[in-house]
């Protein structure tokens, strides 16, 4: 029994795990729905715009952008195509290396991001911050830090 305990979760641990997964998925779904409703941006749009907004010169090589948002390059390529058609970003040749492209935040993309940010941050506050005490928020931070030691999280921010 001691060996099982070292490798398999208890029924209570499994219940807590399921609650954790179901709750984070419900939060993600609700935030995504509100973001789309309030700004017509998808979570993918927002992630790309945020990464570009935080980047020096508001531009990144596509490989760097993929790493920052934690996506495979093929997924990013499709996302960039959709966003480029909507005028949120543009691709430019990379001056330093002609094998890659620079993804650049456009004025329209910056405005879309600004317009989406306040409603999105209000939703984060309502669904997450306001529900928890400051001590609970600190514990969530400790929990996520502990979990990050076991999994790769590609977000640089």
Q: What is the strand order of the sheet 101-105 is part of? A: 59-61, 101-105, 89-93
Give per-residue pLDDT as tens, 2-17.
565 678 999 999 999 9
Angle (CA) 46-135-118 rounded to 5° is: 25
Pairing of strands 101-105, 59-61: antiparallel
Share above pLDDT 90 across residues of the chain, in percent, rounded to a whole number:
81
User: Which pLDDT tens digit goes with each residue over 51-77?
Assistant: 999 999 999 999 899 999 999 988 999
Residue 157 pLDDT = 39
Report pTM: 0.84
Asked if CATH classification 1.10.3720.10 holds for the domain at 28-148, the reply, yes or no, is no
Model confidence over 20-31: pLDDT tens digits?
999 999 999 999
């Amino acid at each position: 029994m001691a060996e099982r305990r070292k490798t398999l979760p208890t029924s209570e641990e499994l219940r807590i795990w399921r609650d954790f997964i179901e709750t984070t998925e419900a939060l993600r779904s609700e935030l995504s729905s509100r973001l789309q409703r309030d700004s017509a941006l998808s979570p993918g749009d927002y992630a790309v715009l945020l990464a570009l907004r935080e980047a020096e010169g508001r531009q990144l090589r596509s490989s760097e952008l993929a790493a920052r948002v934690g996506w495979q390059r093929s997924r990013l390529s499709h996302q960039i195509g959709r966003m480029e058609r909507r005028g949120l970003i543009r691709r430019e040749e990379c001056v330093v290396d002609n094998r890659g492209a620079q993804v650049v935040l456009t004025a329209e993309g910056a405005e879309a991001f600004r317009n989406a940010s306040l409603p999105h941050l209000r939703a984060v506050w309502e669904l997450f911050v306001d529900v928890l005490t400051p001590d609970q928020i600190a514990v969530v931070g400790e929990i996520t830090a502990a979990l990050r030691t076991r999994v790769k999280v590609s977000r640089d921010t």
